[in-house]
């Protein structure tokens, strides 16, 4: 009996110590980055909403803030990651799926179901196509050429490495939308899947998407980049060639966004599949980032007004070596992180905004000759719905 009580006392004391330490070491650094999750921790929510009442969702945001900032949280998550991966062969988060041969896939936002062609999406394709035609027509009336760019998701290019079910490189939601646009509209559309898939078995043996990341490798990016510029030339929108680039092996291993979400999988803190990385650089670059001056300050102020200013969410470039041609690109990280310096070599002025909707104030500020709207396959229906805001002022 004494032994039983002693055991219960030790167990209760252990729990008390853990809870006490978690509260004593509670994070007091707002927005700190979690090493175990590779993201910013939740901030304390705003208390007052309209009419000085609790803001909507306050309770849930408060719970997220408390859970995120508990002391020792990174240690607990590291232990969870190690045990889940090494003992159960799975990720500690439901947002990541372990694939074959070291591949990781995002298991969220419909990412693994791109080839399922959900009936609801297929039914909406005619409307999405009409929307893109209306956007193109509206911009044309403003003297702006419109280009709709679709970028394939990693599961569309490497479905054979998905572990959870059988997938093959067949038609995906991107294929279905692109085919409908080609057959039923005059929208200038670029869809790089076929070109990328055709280069999977390249002589260099290089992957076209990173194993531990959702993004394409520099080889995959280069295929899409060249296809876009060549299409613009064919349509008579530009008269420039893709920039010459050279590839080189990075000295440091690459830790992708999915590996970051997985967290450490060893006691030494190593991430999963810290893969070798082939980087690239432009040969004799001419374009320069714009990071000062009246135009930049005005742009930055406009971005603050739109609540999107962030060095990773918007950018400007200028290039005196090519014919005058202004381009505004609205899209996501497949361009914003991966392709901007290379694209800037082909235009006198390039402005990028990380957004799926088109904003008339931004368009009026930039006054582009060409507007490129880029969408990835992931969450494509939601993002296409967002793009309709550009038409709503016209009552369409």
- pLDDT, tens digit, 9 for 90 and up, residues 165-209: 666 656 788 999 999 999 999 999 999 999 999 998 887 788 999
Would you say residue 258 lies in a domain? yes
**Average pLDDT of the chain, as a whole number:** 82
Whether 231 is covered by a domain: the verdict is: yes
Tell me: do 196 and 273 sit in the same domain: yes
Residue 116 scores a pLDDT above 90: no
**Same domain flag for 118 and 236:** yes
The residue-averaged pLDDT of 126-148 equals 96
Gap between the Cα atoms of 216 and 202, Å rounded:
15
State phi, psi for 19 to the nearest 5 degrees. Answer: -65, -45
Same-domain pairing of 67 and 116: no
pLDDT at 83 over 70: no
The verdict on 144 and 43 lying in the same domain is: no
Least trusted range by pLDDT, from 36-45, 180-189, 309-318, 362-371: 36-45
Ramachandran area for residue 78 (φ above 0: left; ψ -120 to 50: alpha; else beta): alpha
Do 373 and 304 belong together in one domain? Answer: yes
Residue 119 domain-assigned (yes or no): yes
Residues 49 and 136 in one domain: no
The confidence band for 252, taking pLDDT boundaries of 50, 70 and 90, is confident
pLDDT at 157 > cutoff 80: yes
Are residue 126 and residue 211 in the same domain, yes or no? yes
Let me know whether 263 and 381 are in one domain.
yes
Residues constituting the chain: 396
Q: Is residue 76 part of a domain?
A: no
Establish if 142 belongs to a structural domain.
yes
- Please check the confidence at residue 339 and state whether its pLDDT lies above 90: yes
The answer as to whether 169 is a domain residue is yes
- Domain co-membership, 60 together with 134: no
Q: Which domain holds residue 61?
A: 21-71
Three-class secondary structure of residue 250 per DSSP: coil
In a domain, 197, yes or no: yes
pLDDT(50) > 70:
no
Q: Compute the average pLDDT of residues 281-296.
A: 93
Nearest one of 210, 194, 189 to 375, comparing CA atoms? 189
Q: How many domains does the chain have?
A: 2
Which ranges constitute the DSSP H helices of the chain?
A: 2-24, 58-69, 73-88, 119-141, 154-157, 173-184, 193-197, 218-234, 257-262, 294-305, 333-336, 340-344, 360-366, 380-387, 389-392
The dihedral through the CA atoms of 73, 74, 76, 81 has a sign that is positive
Percent of the chain with pLDDT over 90: 41
Mark whether 368 and 268 lie in a shared domain: yes
The pairing of strands 278-282 and 288-289 is: unpaired
378: which 2 tokens? 């992931």
- Of the candidate ranges 89-98, 278-287, 303-312, 352-361, the one whose mean pLDDT is the lowest: 303-312
Q: What's the average model confidence in pLDDT over 208-228?
A: 94
In a domain, 87, yes or no: no
Is pLDDT at 140 greater than 80 in this prediction?
A: yes
State phi, psi for 268 to the nearest 5 degrees. -80, 0
Q: Are residues 119 and 52 in the same domain?
A: no
pLDDT value of residue 122: 84
Query: Is residue 119 scored above 70 in pLDDT?
Result: yes
Residue 4 clears pLDDT 90, i.e. is over it? no
């Amino acid at each position: 009996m004494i032994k039983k009580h002693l055991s219960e006392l030790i167990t209760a004391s252990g729990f008390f110590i853990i809870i006490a330490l978690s509260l004593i070491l509670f994070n007091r650094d707002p927005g700190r980055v979690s090493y175990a999750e590779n993201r910013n921790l939740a901030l304390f929510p705003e208390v007052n909403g309209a009419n000085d009442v609790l803001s909507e969702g306050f309770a849930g945001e408060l719970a997220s803030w408390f859970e995120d900032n508990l002391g020792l949280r990174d240690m607990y998550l590291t232990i969870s990651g190690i045990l889940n991966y090494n003992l159960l062969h799975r990720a500690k988060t439901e947002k990541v799926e372990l694939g074959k041969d070291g591949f990781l896939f995002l298991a969220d936002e419909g990412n693994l179901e791109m080839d399922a062609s959900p009936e609801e999406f297929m039914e909406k394709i005619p409307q999405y196509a009409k929307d893109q035609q209306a956007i193109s027509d509206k911009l044309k009336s403003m003297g702006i050429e419109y280009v709709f760019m679709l970028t394939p998701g990693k599961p569309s290019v490497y479905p054979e490495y998905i572990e959870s079910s059988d997938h093959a490189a067949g038609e995906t939601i991107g294929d279905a939308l692109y085919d409908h646009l080609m057959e039923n509209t005059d929208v200038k559309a670029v869809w790089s899947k076929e070109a990328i898939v055709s280069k999977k078995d390249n002589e260099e043996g290089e992957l076209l998407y990173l194993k531990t990341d959702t993004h394409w490798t520099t080889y995959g990016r280069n295929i899409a980049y060249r296809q876009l510029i060549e299409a613009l030339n064919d349509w008579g929108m530009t008269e420039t060639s893709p920039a010459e680039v050279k590839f080189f092996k990075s000295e440091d291993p690459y830790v992708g966004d999915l590996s970051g979400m997985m967290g450490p999988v060893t006691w030494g803190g190593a991430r999963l599949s810290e893969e070798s990385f082939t980087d690239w650089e432009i040969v004799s670059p001419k374009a320069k980032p714009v990071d000062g001056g009246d135009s930049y300050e005005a742009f930055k102020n406009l971005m603050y007004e739109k609540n999107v200013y962030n060095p990773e969410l918007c950018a400007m470039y200028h290039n005196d070596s090519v014919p005058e041609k202004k381009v505004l690109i609205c899209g996501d990280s497949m361009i914003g992180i991966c392709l901007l310096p290379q694209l800037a070599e082909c235009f006198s002025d390039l402005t990028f905004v990380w957004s799926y909707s088109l904003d008339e104030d931004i368009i009026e500020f930039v006054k582009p000759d060409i507007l490129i709207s880029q969408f990835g396959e992931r969450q494509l229906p939601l993002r296409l719905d967002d793009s309709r805001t550009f038409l709503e002022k016209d009552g369409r």
